[in-house]
């Protein structure tokens, strides 16, 4: 199997590094491409070789829920997983978006990210 192509939508460089380390520690064969701003996301979505999207809930100028909508409009079948700090049930809009995605992982429990990615990819 070829490396997973992961589109990471994350505005915090430290969090992105921790996510990358969690994937490396798990031995997951992957390529990670981080975007932050909406125009960077739009440009990344011009490619059609992504395996999965991993997205934060709060981004500069837009939300993770909006990012999910934009990704679904362009690539309806692309798995989408939230990776957030805090409890998503505190935000009804985010909770609804998570229900429409392949789920979420807490940034406080990044060791769970590789198994969540595998589950999301299996449908």
pLDDT at 1: 54
For the segment 65-92, what is each residue's pLDDT rounded down to a tens digit?
999 999 999 999 999 999 998 766 678 9
pTM for this structure? 0.94
Q: How many domains in the chain?
A: 1
CATH number at residue 45: 3.40.50.2300
pLDDT at 78: 96
pLDDT at 33: 96
Strand 80-84 to strand 52-55: parallel, antiparallel, or no bridges (unpaired)?
Answer: parallel
Phi and psi, residue 26, nearest 5°: -80, -5
User: Of 22, 14, 80, 70, which Cα lies nearest the Cα of 46?
Assistant: 70
pLDDT at 90: 77
Q: Is the pLDDT of residue 2 over 60?
A: yes
Q: How confident is the model at residue 99 (pLDDT cuts 50, 70, 90)?
A: very high
For the segment 3-57, what is each residue's pLDDT rounded down to a tens digit?
899 999 999 999 999 999 999 999 999 999 999 999 999 999 998 799 999 999 9
pLDDT at 27: 93
Structure tokens at 106: 């807490």
Contact between 114 and 26 under an 8 Å Cβ cutoff? The reply is yes
Q: How far apart are CA 87 and CA 105, in angstroms?
A: 10
Q: Give the list of residues 6+ apart from residue 41 with CB closer than 8 angstroms, or none.
A: 9, 35, 67, 70
């Amino acid at each position: 199997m070829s490396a997973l192509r992961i589109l990471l939508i994350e505005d915090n460089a430290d969090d992105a590094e921790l996510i990358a380390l969690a994937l490396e520690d798990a031995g997951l064969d992957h390529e990670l491409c981080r975007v932050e701003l909406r125009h960077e996301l739009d440009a990344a979505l011009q490619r059609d070789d992504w395996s999965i999207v991993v997205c934060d809930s709060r981004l500069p100028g837009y939300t993770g829920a909006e990012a999910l909508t934009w990704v679904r409009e362009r690539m309806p079948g692309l798995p989408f997983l939230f990776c957030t700090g805090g409890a998503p049930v505190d935000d009804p809009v985010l909770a609804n978006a998570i229900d429409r995605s392949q789920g979420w992982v807490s940034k406080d429990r990044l060791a769970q990210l590789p198994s969540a990615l595998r589950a999301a990819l299996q449908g």
